[in-house]
Amino acid sequence: MVDALEAGGNNYRGIAMVERTIEAEEIERLDAAGVRGVRFNFVTHLGEPADTRAIIEIVEKIRPFGWHAVVHFDAFRLPDLAPFLKSLDLTLVIDHMGRIDVSQGIDQPAFRLLLDLLEDEKFWVKVSGSERLSRTGPPFADAAQYGRLLVERFPDRVLWGTDWPHPNIYQNMPDDGALVDLLEIIAPRPEHLQALLVDNPTRLYWND
């Protein structure tokens, strides 16, 4: 990733997974290449959840650089995880709409908790991953509808991407063009599309 960032000049940005032992010199090197945050996983299929004590140590090290953290979690973990996330003093980006169960409706506890977190302006959310969250399959419109709700409610703190090359999907590989087409559902208003694809990522990743 660092090689790609350096080859791309200032045109690309990256998110790193780092150890708690990372030193300031290494953060400086990653920052110079274009890294602007770290990622923490609390998803069962990716192994053991991130160590919260290690997260606190890492956050203290990256805060002086203005980095943010991406958090990827299973929805069932959110009731226990939310208080910890609220305690962290930096910008947090929630991946894949919190991996909610889109078959459970907007009043499900996980989605209500997600909305509650987003009332705090330090939280952002990626309205991506419709292909992972869908219960009906292609074209994944059932999941995209949740993205639309989030865009309408928090238009200045939403991000999107295709998630290419779709790691850990071993069958029914999504068509990236079809995922792009979902933007007609997720952000049908031109001003929301502009914020989602241009203004918000520019503000978060090129804020220096």
Length of the chain: 208
CB neighbour class for 57 (10 Å; exposed up to 12, middle 13-18, buried from 19): middle
Locus of tokens 């990743």: 205
74 is catalytic: no
- Residues 190 and 150: beta-carbon distance below 8 Å: no
Query: Residue ranges of the alpha helices (H) in the chain?
Result: 2-7, 24-33, 52-62, 78-87, 109-118, 130-133, 141-153, 176-181, 183-186, 190-194, 200-205
Catalytic residue among 89, 107, 163, 176: 163
Instruction: Note if the bond before 49 is cis, omega within 30 degrees.
Output: no
Q: Which residues carry out catalysis?
A: 163
